[in-house]
Each structure stands twice: as C-alpha cells, then as structure tokens.
Amino acid sequence: MTAGATGGWHVATVVGARPLTRSARELTLSVPGLEASSPGQHLDVRLTAPDGYQATRAYSLAATGQAERADLVVDRVPDGEVSPYLVDVARPGDLMEVRGPLGGYFVWRPGDPGPVLLVAGGSGVVPLLAMLRARRASSSRAPFRLVCSVRGPADAIGREEIDEPTPGVEVHWVFSRESPPGWPTRPRRVADDDLAAPGFTAADGPDVFVCGPTGFVEAAAALLTGLGHAPDRVRTERFGGA
C-alpha cells in the first residue's frame, strides 16, 4: 500500500461502462500509477464537483491482478450521493480519483490451496466475483463454492458469468423474494443446507468469505458458526446500518 496520510490519489479515467442489472453497473477505469490489487480488496473513489466540493466512498474491486486498471461494480443506493452518479451519469472519458488498493484481510490469494466457501448477499457478490475471476484466471485448483443470495433473477449481478461451468467451482443460487420460472424451490432465505455442502463443511476447514448487507452477513455468519466453522476462518464484509 502506498497511500500516505492524505496522499496516494490517482487520476482515473472511465474507459468502459456496462449495465449488469437495473441498479448495478460495471465501470472500468484506467488509472496510471495504480498497483495491481488482490481479490477482495477495495478502492476509495473520490468525485470532485466543478466548485471543488468532493465526496469519497469505498467500493470493492470486481476484478483484480492488473496494474493501472480498476473494475468496479456499483449498485445504486437509493438517495445515495456517489453511487447514483457512478451508475447513471458517468461515461467513458469522465475523470475521478481513486486510492488503493486497500484492505489486507478480506483477501483470497490464488496460491491458497484449501477449499473456499463464498457467501454473497446482493451486491456483496462483488469482491467474491473478484475471487472467482482470479480463480478462473489462475492455475489454482482450490475447490470453490459460491452461494449467491439475491432478491430475484433481475437483481442477480453477473449471473451468466458466474454460472459459467468451471471444474472445481460450484455455484448455488438462493432467491429470497422471487424465483425464476421453473426454479425448483420457492423464494427463501439462506439456510444450513445451502452452506453445508460436501467438501465445504466445517470439517473440511474451508476459508469462508461472507459479504453483503449487515443483516444478511449477521444471519449467514451465525449459521456458519452454528455449523461448526471456527469464527476466525469466517471473514466478513458488511455494508449498511443495523
């Protein structure tokens, strides 16, 4: 990490924008000077209005490993100040600033051999998508299981990419409000059965990463410790209040 007390900002130029759902968009930034990040890390993003007013928020990186480039997936927060701009207004050529990569704990490294259990609620899938992308881009054979909980199919960020068949990677969707047509189960919340799959049980000792809204993470982490996962093997990132 190179960020000093108040320095470390890099000028970033939007070079790509791709809608993913009705509320989420992937933004690709070109950032000269930005070092390569690890899957799970995040950036500070700073916007500057014409009169100098600034607003800063932290966003998880959706793709990592490539220096001087940042891929963010941003979900619009109703009444938000920064996310509506990033989802609805920003377009290629626009400038902002970023600082990072940040965070050294909620990180999966492609050299780690053990099984990995990823549990995502809503847009909490973003740093876990970065881990999945890194797994697919590397020679890692670490068994991966990604459990994605979303309200309905229209809210599923990156579903086609996530579902791409990959040996050693299993993906499990849970729809909490509305299931897709023909889906075998009714809408429901994540439960023990979703988390306790063969090869990823507490006895298998997976590294567990949980990300999502606070209520989701609290519930999922409690299920996981109830299933016997050691609390220090369950890494969490939460957003929103409680």
Partner 1 sequence: MSIVTRGFGGRRDDPGDDVPPGQFVTQDFPVLSTGPTPSVDEAHWQLAVHTETGAAHRWSWDELMSLPAEDVTTDIHCVTHWSKLGTTWRGVSLDTLFADVETSADFVMAHSYGGYTTNVPLQDLLDGQSWVAYEFEGEPLEPVHGGPARLLVPHLYFWKSAKWLRGLVMEDDDQPGFWESNGYHAYGDPWLEQRYS
Measured from the CB of residue 138, what is the shortest distance to partner 1 in angstroms? 23
7 vs 182, beta carbon nearer partner 1: 7
Token look-up 């965070």 returns 103
Per CB under 8 A, the list member of 3, 15, 137, 197 interacting with partner 1 is: 3
Per CB under 8 A, the list member of 17, 85, 137, 163 interacting with partner 1 is: 85
Per CB under 8 A, the list member of 11, 15, 196, 197 interacting with partner 1 is: 11
Least Cα distance to 132 among 156, 149, 108, 154 occurs for 108
Q: Considering only the stretches 114-122, 164-172, 199-207, 229-237, report the one whose residues sit in contact with partner 1 under the rule CB under 8 A.
A: 229-237
Applying CB under 8 A, does 52 fall inside the site for partner 1? yes
Applying CB under 8 A, does 120 fall inside the site for partner 1? no
CB 89 within 8 A of CB 121: no
Measured from the CB of residue 24, what is the shortest distance to partner 1 in angstroms? 19
Query: Which residues sit opposite 73 in a β-bridge?
Result: 26
Applying CB under 8 A, does 95 fall inside the site for partner 1? yes
146: CB partners within 8 A, 6+ apart: 118, 120, 125, 128, 132, 162, 169, 170, 171, 172
The CA angle 75-176-62, to the nearest 5 degrees, is 30
Q: Considering only the stretches 27-35, 98-106, 110-118, 171-179, report the one whose residues sit in contact with partner 1 under the rule CB under 8 A.
A: 98-106
- Residues between 12 and 51 that touch partner 1 (CB under 8 A): 44, 46-50
Q: In whole angstroms, what is the distance from residue 53 CA to residue 70 CA?
A: 24
Applying CB under 8 A, does 225 fall inside the site for partner 1? yes
Applying CB under 8 A, does 55 fall inside the site for partner 1? yes
The tally of CA atoms less than 13 A away on the side-chain side of residue 31 is 28
Q: What is the DSSP letter of 181?
A: T
What is the rounded (10 degree) CA torsion for 168, 134, 38, 107? -20
Applying CB under 8 A, does 81 fall inside the site for partner 1? yes
CB 60 within 8 A of CB 192: no
- How many chain residues bind partner 1 (CB under 8 A)? 53
CB 69 within 8 A of CB 31: yes
Per CB under 8 A, the list member of 97, 155, 194, 207 interacting with partner 1 is: 97
Applying CB under 8 A, does 90 fall inside the site for partner 1? yes
Length of the chain: 242
Applying CB under 8 A, does 125 fall inside the site for partner 1? no
Residues near partner 1, by CB under 8 A:
1, 3-6, 8-9, 11, 44, 46-50, 52-58, 81, 85, 89-90, 93-97, 99, 102-106, 214, 218, 221-222, 224-225, 231-232, 234-242
